[in-house]
Structure 1
Amino acid sequence: MRKFFVSAAASLAILCSTHAIADQPARFPVITLNAGMHLIKAEVASTEAQREQGLMFRESLGPNEGMVFLFHAPAGVCMWMKNTPLPLSVAFIDRDGRIINIENMKPQSLDSHCAKQPVYYALEMQEGWFKQRNIKPGSIISGLPQPR
């Protein structure tokens, strides 16, 4: 009987830890981007499913961490913050890495924040990250993954 309880307890512990892992937001491959002298550790969301998930359910980001959304063709892109508890800033970026516009986004909002022209990338960082570093439209982000 004792053997059954030990086995049941072990199974329950595995089930609970698996459930806790399943509740964690998925992480995507990380690359290093440059914004002038500033390094960014950016997760890459390159598939439709990854772009749909984005930074949903993330509770925190490191000081130079973010997510770059890769669109494989120029697109009229709008971002929103459903299920995203962090305030973020998003930079919309053309094929050459030039920032077109930057928008601040409120947590948990369904408001759309759109690129002012078709873009290949959107880079989300903690709100104010770009402004604090004097990175603005016209600035270049290098190290971006190439569209297919």
Structure 2
Amino acid sequence: MTGRAARSASSLRRWAETAALALALAALPAAAPAYATGSIAAGRPQTGLKIVPLTIEAGGKRHAYKVEVARTDAQQAHGMMFRTKMAPNTGMIFPMDPPRPAGFWMENTLIPLDLLFIGADGRIRNIVSNAVPKSRASLNSAGPVAAVLELAGGEADRIGAKPGDKVSW
């Protein structure tokens, strides 16, 4: 075989190997698309979280909510990202076991939220009101917390919530 013929045979062999690999990959079952797995990269709000009743004792009254529970690391990482609205008297709770300092940011969050940092005694430690959507600013607890509650922006002020108020779920 001449040099030119050897190069052509080699190119043909590489092409055939590439084609065979492509056919083998095409025969594999397709992976679930990112949006079907609840991936943050999919740019969609997560759904299907357990919903539980929650009350906040503030301003001498009991305020009732239905909140989603973001229990797993993946659920907590996704949180309220990509939502464009919240129904009244709803929110999301992020349980933390064991209690620990917590920090959040709003990078992919499209609506303002109030973050209520809740101590192991069930009392509000501190509140961040009207967190700015799409911000990477760190929003931190004042010490270890057993949970973080996200409500619609302005809700904590509306009900008069303050540090020391009791949260039960």
TM-score (norm 2): 0.70
**Matched residues, number:** 124
Corresponding position: 1:32 with 2:53: yes
Amino acid at match of 2:104: M
The structure with the largest alpha-carbon Rg is 2
Note the C-alpha offset of 1:135: 1.0
Query: Per-residue CA shift, 1:38-65, capped at 9, x if unaligned?
Result: 1111100111111100000011111111
Q: Is 1:86 paired with 2:86?
A: no
Question: Following the alignment from structure 2 to structure 1, what is the Cα–Cα distance between the partners of residues 73 and 107?
Answer: 16
In structure 2, what is the equivalent of residue 119 of structure 1? Answer: 145
Residue 108 of structure 1 aligns to a residue in which SS?
coil
Gapped regions of structure 2 (runs ≥ 5): 1-32, 37-41
Deviation at 1:26, TM superposition (A): 1.7
**Matching of residue 140 in structure 1 with residue 166 in structure 2:** yes
> Residues of 2 paired with 1:132 and 1:88: CA distance?
13
1:96 is displaced (CA, Å) by: 1.8
Please state whether the residue corresponding to 1:123 is helix, strand or coil: strand
Kindly report which structure 2 residues correspond to 1:1-148, keeping only aligned pairs within 5 A, or say none: 22=36, 24-27=44-47, 28-36=49-57, 37-104=62-129, 105-143=131-169
- Per-residue deviation, 1:110: 0.4
- Tell me, in whole angstroms, the C-alpha distance in 1 between the residues paired with 2:91 and 2:105: 15
Aligned residues with identical type, % of pairs: 38
Unpaired runs of 5+ residues, structure 1, are 1-18, 144-148
Note the aligned Cα RMSD (angstroms): 1.4
